[in-house]
Amino acid sequence: MSKLRATAERVVIESVTPSVDGGRFPSKAAIGDPVTVEADVFADGHDSIACVLRYRKASARAWSETPMRSLGNDRWRAEFTPFELGVWHFEIVGWVDRFDTWVAGLAKKVEAGVDVSVDLVIGAGLIEEASTRADARAAKTLASLAKEVGDETAPIADRVETAMAAETVEMVRRFRDRSRATTSEIRWPVVVDREIATYSTWYELFPRSWAQEPGEPGTFADVEARLGYVASMGFDVLYLPPIHPIGTTFRKGPNNTPSAHPDDPGVPWAIGSNEGGHTAIEPALGTIEDFRSLRDAAVEHGLELALDIAFQCSPDHPWVTEHPEWFRHRPDGSVQYAENPPKKYQDIYPLDFETEDAKGLWSALKGVFDHWIAEGIRIFRVDNPHTKSFPFWEWVIPAVREEHPDVVMLAEAFTRPAVMYRLAKAGFNQSYTYFAWRTSREELTAYTRDLAAVSHFFRPSFWPNTPDILTEELQTGGRAAFIARYVLAATLSPACGIYGPAYELRESKPLHEGSEEYHQSEKYQIRVWDLERPDSLAPLLTQVNRARKAHPALQRFGPPVFHETDNETLICFSKHAGEDVALVIVNLDHHHMQSGWVNLDLAALGVGPGEKIMLHDLLTERRYQWDGSHNFVQLDPAGIPAHVFALRGHSRSEEGFDYF
């Protein structure tokens, strides 16, 4: 510790953002989105300092750099915009700038009428030094400037003017003395993803319920025939539960009954039979050619397929016999099934991440991703990642993305916050959240603020329902609840999704009172859906998704700004992206009309004092004009219990609304 390694690097760089655990994990960005970097940069004493942000793809040799600008109080900021997918690095370089210090001192001395003759000689020396760092052409100019500034026979005023001329200062700055510069001790990593990792609208469906002929099990071909239905609602990710052969041993029957009839289809997450495991396709759904056809047709509809990755095995999975060492065995010779004592899940064998053959297991699991990537899949929804070893994810996600940086993984972990955040740190590009259970204004506001604090590495996805989650609110709230919850999901979070058609058809019956499981859940049986039902919410979902597509403000997390309301059943928030501003108001009471006053934070809306506020309701196409921060709203659960406004403050009302 006491070894003397004296250094002349006087600048200190600290409190750098974005930073995840001090650079231990990457922060996240979307390609083409600027990454804003800030740091405390300072030196001892009163000298002027300068600093630059350096950035590059991790695989590149050469840094690009951009000057940082002072925000005051030792804080500096700069941005860079990654233009390629993959891991990027940034670092910061700062130095005490003798020339800037000298110019600033000279200006003050001249103003105070102090003799600056010696100062001019010092400055001439600094300009001369810059010339030695310059290219030949600039060197000549700098040498001549140095001579002028240092010319003791010339009038002081002329020499000062030359020294302080913008051209002089700029030219010297081009060739600054960075020999004593400090480089930040850490290179901060940033993972750059496709935009779809940030902004995406998911639709989950069970193909086996999508038969065109009711009564038949649905196939990939049936889904392909109905892609227009999903695409026309404005979804862009079509997520399929596991498509692999389903085990028969301990197969579950309808409503999670412990034994199945021979023709019960089983749970898609009980993966593996003698037909194959995680790389095979359930024959009832079709062939690999059918799958490829669906995948390609989806693309034509503007949809990208997302597959489910559930790293667990049915007792019939080929791995159980081929790789017994990947499972834990009980003294009676049986394989240890999943359990959460006293509950047993005998249809599921967990993989043993403490196996002696961890290397073999990890490689095989990566192989599952590789297989489907080779089949053109780039989005994976990972089932229960929090029941698999964290070091595994920390290895496999970067390993997969090193070869395919366009891969996006959504973590399905409904568990404690530290665990969910750790999975995001390990590499998951998107994460399910507690949104489904945040219902009051206070809960939604607090939860959004929690997410804002981690938004540099944890990208939320808001789902009002999933095949496992039918909330009490949806069970009891009726049509208004389904509308309100989708509006909230789709406007609070840039990534959102639903499990349909249960959602648009307002499926709301639970397995039993107090349960969040669906009655006659598709997890256990085939359902028949009437997609043409006149009371379907499909048109409303379409309208909401259209608003998202038209408004950049809704395509990034923000974070949202919450505005006061005098009625706690009304929630009001806004988001903006550049000039684009969205203002959302939702009635959280699904049974009664609610009205009240909202008190808008006009500055957050970009509305100047005295400007009128033009509002275009993107759900109803109605237009409003508001004046000032206090405004009255009334929302009826019998109609559309939400406003999604595109908004613009405007001082010249005569121009009308035509900019909408």
Could you say which residues in the range 164-183 bind its own copies, by CB under 8 A?
Answer: 180
Omega of the bond leading into 318 within 30 degrees of 0 (cis): no
User: Coil, strand, or helix at residue 321?
Assistant: helix
The residue annotated as part of the active site, out of 100, 236, 412, 611, is 412
The residue annotated as part of the active site, out of 193, 204, 383, 473, is 383
Nearest approach, Cβ of residue 392 and its own copies (Å): 8
- A 10 A CB-CB count for 132 gives 11
Pair of tokens at residue 490? 């789709």
Distances (CA, A) of 479 to 206, 580, 591: 23, 30, 10
87 strand-pairing partners: 191
| Residues in 475-494 that interact with its own copies by CB under 8 A | none
| Residues in 362-401 that interact with its own copies by CB under 8 A | 362-363, 386-392, 395, 398-399
Q: Mark 343-362 with x for binding to its own copies (rule: CB under 8 A) and - for no binding.
A: -------x--xxx--xx-xx
Among 324-332, 530-538, 576-584, 621-629, the segment contacting its own copies (CB under 8 A): 324-332
Does 188 bind its own copies (CB under 8 A)? Our answer is no
Among 10-18, 201-209, 270-278, 456-464, the segment contacting its own copies (CB under 8 A): 10-18
Among 9, 195, 406, 601, interactor with its own copies by CB under 8 A:
9
Q: Identify which of residues 96 and 498 has a Cβ nearer to its own copies in the complex.
A: 96
Nearest approach, Cβ of residue 542 and its own copies (Å): 39
Among 18, 42, 295, 349, interactor with its own copies by CB under 8 A:
42
Q: Identify which of residues 215 and 331 has a Cβ nearer to its own copies in the complex.
A: 331
Q: Identify which of residues 145 and 490 has a Cβ nearer to its own copies in the complex.
A: 145
Pair of tokens at residue 147? 């001579």
Helix axes 156-164, 98-111, angle to 10 degrees: 140
478: left (phi over 0), alpha (psi -120 to 50) or beta: left
| Residues in 59-78 that interact with its own copies by CB under 8 A | 73-74
Q: Are 102 and 119 in contact (CB under 8 A)?
A: yes
Q: Are 284 and 293 in contact (CB under 8 A)?
A: no
Does 458 bind its own copies (CB under 8 A)? Our answer is no
- What are the two backbone dihedrals, phi and then psi, of residue 386, each rounded to the nearest 5 degrees? -75, -5
Nearest approach, Cβ of residue 130 and its own copies (Å): 17
- A 10 A CB-CB count for 62 gives 8
Does 157 bind its own copies (CB under 8 A)? Our answer is no
Is 412 a known active-site residue?
yes
Is 224 a known active-site residue?
no
Name the H helices within 385-526. Answer: 390-403, 417-426, 441-453, 472-492
Q: Which residues contact 6 (CB under 8 A, 6 or more apart)?
A: none
Among 104-112, 257-265, 317-325, 647-655, the segment contacting its own copies (CB under 8 A): 104-112
Q: Mark 115-154 with x for binding to its own copies (rule: CB under 8 A) and - for no binding.
A: ---x--xx--x-----------------------------
DSSP-derived letter for residue 336 is P
Among 37-45, 126-134, 230-238, 482-490, the segment contacting its own copies (CB under 8 A): 37-45
Nearest approach, Cβ of residue 633 and its own copies (Å): 35
Q: Identify which of residues 73 and 321 has a Cβ nearer to its own copies in the complex.
A: 73
Q: Provide the b/e sequence for 565-583 (b: ≥16 CB within 10 Å).
A: bebebbbbbbbbeeebbbb
Distances (CA, A) of 602 to 206, 254, 491, 608, 614: 45, 54, 19, 7, 13
Residues belonging to the active site = 383, 412
